[in-house]
Structures are given as C-alpha cells and as structure tokens.
Chains A and B, each alone.
Chain A
Amino acid sequence: MNGTMILHILLGLLLLAIPAGALYVFDKPQLRNLGIAVGRMAGQLLVVCLMVWLLVKYDKIWLSLLWFLLLAVASGVFALRRMKLPLAQYLPPVGAGLFAGPLLVGSYLLWASLPVEDGFGARWFVPVTALLVGHSMTMCIRGLSTYLSALKADEQQYEFLRGNGTNHLHAVLPFVRRALQAVMSPTIANLSAMGLFTMPLLLCGILLGGISPIDTFILTLLLVVGCVASSLIALAVILWLADRQLFDKFGKLR
C-alpha cells in the first residue's frame, strides 16, 4: 500500500461526509453508530482481505482447504448461534454439512464447469467456496430450524407414523419435505426476482474484477446454480448426521 493508494482511500472516505452531515442535522445520536459501523466494517474487510491476500500469495491447495475448513466451522458456529442451538450437539453435523456441500459443488464447478484456468488455485477456489459456504449457511438456518421446529410442533405425526409401522427414514420424510420447502421457496423467489434493473452484487463484483460480460454471465449463472445445489447437499448431510442427536434409541425425539 503506497501513499497514492492511501490518498485514494481518504478521498473515497470523504463521501462519508454526506451521510454524516445528514445525520448531524437530523439525527445526531446516530452519528456515533455510523462511525462505529464503518470502523467495524473496515476492520472486518481488512482482516478478510489480508487472509485472502495470504492465501493467494502462497497459493497452496492444502492452505486453501485449511482456510475452507475453518470457514465452514465458523459459519456453523454463526448459524447455530442464530438458531440458538447448542454448539456441542450440533456443530459436528452442521460443520460437516457446510464443509461437504460447498466442497463437492465447488470442486465440480472449478474442475468441470467454470470457464477459468487453474480453478483450484486460491484466486478462484477461495471466492467460489466462500460464496457457496455463505449461501449454504443461510439456507442451513432456514432448513434446519424448520426441520427441528416442525418435528417439535408435529411430534405426534412422527409418532403416529412410527406407531403404524413406518420406518424412521420414512417417518421423518414429511419434515424433510418441509425443510426443503423452507430452503427452496425463498430461493425460487429470489431467482425469479433477478431483474434487469437490480443487478445482483455478485454480477457487479465479477465485472469489477475485470471479467468480460459474457464470462460474467456464465460465472454468475453457474455460481447461482451451484449455490442452490450446495445448500441442498449441505442440508442433506446436516439432517443425516444430526439424526442420532435428535432421536433416542426408542425413536423418541430427545
């Protein structure tokens, strides 16, 4: 980072004078909150970008995988806190799901599908898998919380099915269906709302990275499809692994 770059940053940050000025006139107490939020955002961005810089600089697949593992675990912790679920009980399945789904789909995209060279280099591996983990985490919150709360609210239905000879796998299917609906319903809504005038940030980001518009189209399309596939694989792994935590040996919800 040289002097010119610092000057550019400072000039850019001058734009903050507009919202800060507006708040100073109309809502002075919020001014402090704006300062804290901008500071926090800048700090977080700096940390993330330094990490990515290191990953890209050393460009070792094991290092990228280690970072990816940490990201999956951290996302799992974040998702579980959001759902107010015990970490000790649910982190192993959630972390594993958030690792497996994005890794499988990301590897497939980078190896076979995306029009990029050296897909497993940190330059591509890091942003693609981060995007998949981020989306899978969001969908994990929707899917797992729906599954758990539906099981709790409709425990009678599970027991009814079990009591009538349905095996465990088939007895949880109505609840899996509801988790799937909770994941797919907002996804479908978002996909269909992707309009010409509200350009998705991902598309903007890829364009800003210097990729041609046609390649940007392909990348965006495939990454969005990848996000959906990754979140479903993650959810399936999470539900499968969480099953033993959820039911006792008599098939009763713990």
Chain B
Amino acid sequence: MARDGQLTCITGAEGSGKTTLLRTLMGFLPVGSGFVSVDGELLTVLSAHAFRTLMVYLPQQIQMLAHQLTPPEASVSEADDYAVWNALLPCATETPQPSPLSPEDIFRLAEKTLSEAIDKQIVIADEPAAQLTPELSERMLQLLRNQADAGKTVLIASRRQLLIEQADQIITL
C-alpha cells in the first residue's frame, strides 16, 4: 500500500516486474490476481482513465519523448509532376523514431510535467533516474521528495541505491 505524503520505492532485479506492477496500477495491464484500489475505489479497465486523471506519470522510456518537448516539424514536399489529381501513388511513409533526449532535457521534461500537474495527487515514476547523471539524479530525487512533502503519493520503480535509500517505504519484488 502506498500512502499519501510518502515516497514508496518498488525495487527488485531486472525483469522482476517493477514496470509491469506500475503499469497494472495505472490500468494499462489487466490484474492477474488481487485488485487495485485508490482511496477505496476499485480500479478497473473501464475506470482506469478516471483514475489516471489523478496521476502524473514519468515513464521508463522518458528519453524517447522528444516530441513532447518539441513537436515534430512537417516535412516540406516538392510538387509532383502532374499536380494534385495526377500524382503518382506514393509509397507508405515510414516515421523514424525521435532522437533520445539528453539527460538535461529528460530532467526538464520531468520538471515540466510535475509542475503542470500541481493538483494531481499521485505521482508514478518508472526508473526516474535511469538516464540521468549523478547530479541530475540527486535533483530528480529532490523533485520527487518535494512532491511527497506536498502530501502526494509518490510511487517509483528503481534499482538505484540513491533512490531506494531515500524512500519512506520499500517494496521488493
């Protein structure tokens, strides 16, 4: 059970199910056994969206969210030879993956996301320091600690000793 005003850290070996647990708590995956409830209300597939409006989520692959900081530019097209109605049939478009964010940008995105969700009660962060430098990891920890101090329920999954040591509650898988 994760409590308000506390930083709860889920830890365990790689592949132990930390991310799966977080995703299940958010209603992204079905519950195999047992149940998930928030303030006594049962979280189901149908109600998951309503619960997620109470949550801030920093995913494990946060470095892939470049387009969340900068929307992609539209590609400039050249005119076809015979104008719109006679265009040769185009090939299917392949969209490349966005370039990974730098550690500074990851932290900036996390900071922005948290600051925009000031009224949300639950913070979920999956490996929030995995892509960060030691200095930024400290700042991330402080950021999450501030959220807990503001009375929010902060739930993180991490294998980083720094975060585990600072957690109020540790759940080992």
Contacts and interface: CB of A to CB of B under 8 A. Distances in A.
Interface of A: 78, 82-84, 131, 134-135, 137-138, 141-142, 145-146, 149-150, 152-154, 156-157, 159-160, 162-165, 167-168, 174, 177-178, 181-182, 185-194, 198, 200-202, 223-224, 227-228, 249-252
Contacts of B35: none
A101 to B, nearest CB: 15
A156 B86 contact: no
B99 to A, nearest CB: 11
B59 A156 contact: yes
Determine the main DSSP class of A at the interface with B.
Answer: helix
B75 interface: yes
A142 B113 CA distance: 32
A138 B61 contact: no
Contacts, number: 149
Contacts of B45: 249-250
Contacts of B95: 146, 149-150, 152-154, 178
Interface in B48-74: 48-49, 52-57, 59, 61-62, 64-65, 67-68, 71-72, 74
A177 B29 CA distance: 28
Contact of A154 (B27, B67, B79, B87): B67
Interface of B: 26-30, 45, 48-49, 52-57, 59, 61-62, 64-65, 67-68, 71-72, 74-80, 82-87, 89-98, 113, 117, 120, 124
A185 B93 CA distance: 13
Nearest to A143: B93
B30 A164 contact: no
A165 B120 contact: yes
A168 B49 CA distance: 9
Determine the main DSSP class of B at the interface with A.
Answer: loop
B85 to A, nearest CB: 5
Contact of A186 (B64, B68, B80): B80
Contacts of B59: 156, 159-160, 163
B52 A191 contact: no
- Interface centre among B61, B78, B79, B85, by most chain A C-beta atoms within 10 angstroms, is B85
Contacts of A82: 89-92
Nearest to A202: B85
A189 to B, nearest CB: 4
A200 B85 contact: yes
A81 to B, nearest CB: 10
Nearest to B74: A181
A191 B55 CA distance: 46
A153 B113 contact: no
Contacts of A178: 72, 74, 95
Nearest to A178: B72
Contacts of B91: 82, 141
5 contacts: A135-B87, A154-B64, A168-B49, A189-B80, A190-B83
Contacts of A152: 95
Given A149-B94, A153-B95, A153-B97, A134 B85 contact: yes
Contact of A250 (B30, B61, B89, B113): B30
A164 B55 contact: yes
B87 to A, nearest CB: 5
Given A160-B57, A250-B45, A200 B124 contact: no
A167 B85 CA distance: 37
Contact of A157 (B54, B67, B120, B124): B67
Given A149-B93, A188-B77, A200-B85, 4 more contacts: A141-B92, A156-B61, A160-B59, A162-B52
